[in-house]
Amino acid sequence: MDQLDQRAELGEFLRSRRARLRPGDVGLPEYGRHRRVPGLRREELAQLAGVSAAYYTRLEQGHGQNVSAEVLDAIARALRLDGTETAHLTHLARPRPRRQRARQHRAEHVRPELRTLMDAMDGVPAYLVGRRQDVIGWNRLAAAVFGDFGALPAKERNLVRLVFLDPATVELYRDWECRACEVVSNLRMYAGQHPEDEQLSALVGELSVKNEEFRRLWAAHTVADNKTRGVKRLRHPLVGEMDLAFETLALPDDSAQFLVTFHAAPGSPSADALRLLASWSAPTATASASSASTSATSATSASVEADGATA
């Protein structure tokens, strides 16, 4: 699978959104108890959107070209899409410039200033997420909380892959189901923006083969932007349960990269657990300053290797 089929993705997304609506949800009469489709019929959706049934059918079958913004807005309203879903529909329906394909092969770099910033966040786990939710930079405490990213092969430093294929990560999240839905919905949103990304296709293909729950969630076509803030409920193998608030910060000079930081409420048991992990992960007193610096740098500078591998 070289890349995702954009036309197929558009059709599947429209069908999945149409299937969740009943005629009564949109003010249409519902005749009979037994319907051959789980939701609205194509003809009913076309009626609501003000387009012909033939035109809408072509769109679902991937044959629509140069769909106007007005038609997309009408279809989005008829399907009761929210803002994120409407943006996803627009990404799927728009023509894709050929030059975008080469852009996905460029290595992702972690700026030296960002490495220094993450290492200076004393007591604050932080990691940098790039395309496809690859982890391209992290500090020592993030590795202590979420696992040693540096010990993983480059292709495995990916949040989606870890959530579904790494047993330690599965055990780490007390609300694993919510975390699984979150990372898949984020990946779906990215896929709508970059269907030509071959590394994305490889990741989706691998996870679809190896994990049944991923296949189910991916087929649901749920989309979501990265959450800007929230709480991660963890069950750490060394310090037990922790509730860590997170903040997701988009980088102003690279829209594909996000810095994610975590902290615990002051005075809470989670804060005590985080301090304990920080003390255990700190460099030993016998380690030289130069070796500690080298270790910290290596923990946050694997970006070129990670991006060069198939994630």
- Please tell me the number of Cα atoms within 13 Å of 143 on its side-chain side: 21
- Residue 89: inside a domain: yes
Helix (H) or strand (E) holding 243: strand 240-251
Whether residue 143 is found in the same domain as residue 116: yes
Number of H helices, E strands in the chain: 16, 5
Q: Which residues pair with 234 in a beta bridge?
A: 173, 242
Domain assignment present for residue 1? The answer is no
Q: Are residues 32 and 151 in the same domain?
A: no
Question: Which residue among 95, 121, 137 closes a domain?
Answer: 95
Residues 235 and 210 in one domain: yes
Q: For 236, phi and psi rounded to 5 degrees? A: -80, 140
One domain for residues 58 and 162: no
pLDDT at 118 over 70: yes
pLDDT at residue 305, rounded to an integer? 42
Q: Is 102 a domain residue?
A: no
Q: Are residues 127 and 263 in the same domain?
A: yes
Is residue 236 in a domain? yes
pLDDT at residue 205 above 70? Answer: yes
Where does the pLDDT of residue 290 fall: very low under 50, low under 70, confident under 90, or very high at 90 and above? Answer: very low
In a shared domain, residues 155 and 68: no
pLDDT higher than threshold 70 for residue 300: no
Count of domains observed in the chain: 2
Out of 8-17, 56-65, 119-128, 180-189, least confident range: 56-65
Give the percent of the chain with pLDDT over 70.
84
Kindly report, residue by residue over 271-283, the tens digit of the pLDDT. 999 999 999 887 7
* 131 and 268, same domain (yes or no): yes
Separation in Å, CA 41 to CA 23, 35, 45, 92: 9, 9, 6, 21
Using the predicted structure, report yes or no on whether residue 183 has a pLDDT greater than 90.
yes
Asked if 73 and 143 sit in the same domain, the reply is no
Determine the Cα–Cα distance for residues 135 and 258; give it in Å rounded to an integer. 10
Please tell me the distance from the alpha carbon of residue 90 to that of residue 177, in angstroms, as a whole number.
Answer: 28
Whether 11 shows a pLDDT value over 50: the answer reads yes
Task: Indicate the range of 7-21, 44-58, 91-105 predicted with least confidence.
Answer: 91-105
| Pair of tokens at residue 168 | 């330690």
- Residue 107 counted as domain residue: no
- Is 106 part of any domain? no
Q: Which of 61, 95, 129 is the last residue of a domain?
A: 95
Instruction: Evaluate whether residue 128 is within a structural domain.
Output: yes
Look up the CATH number of the domain holding residue 158: 3.30.450.180
The answer to whether residues 281 and 137 belong to one domain is: yes
In angstroms, rounded to a whole number, what is the distance separating the alpha carbons of residues 28 and 25? 8
Give residue 43's domain range.
Answer: 6-95
The whole-number pLDDT of residue 303 equals 39
Q: What is the CATH number of the domain that holds 24?
A: 1.10.260.40
- Give domain status of residue 40, yes or no: yes
**Same domain (yes/no): 153, 282:** yes
Is residue 234 located within the same domain as residue 280? yes
pLDDT tops 70 at residue 169: yes
Q: Side-chain half-sphere of 218: how many Cα atoms within 13 Å?
A: 22
Q: Look over the chain and give the mean of its residue pLDDT values, rounded to a whole number.
A: 85
What is the model's pTM?
0.84
More confident residue, 288 or 100: 100
Same domain, 154 and 237: yes
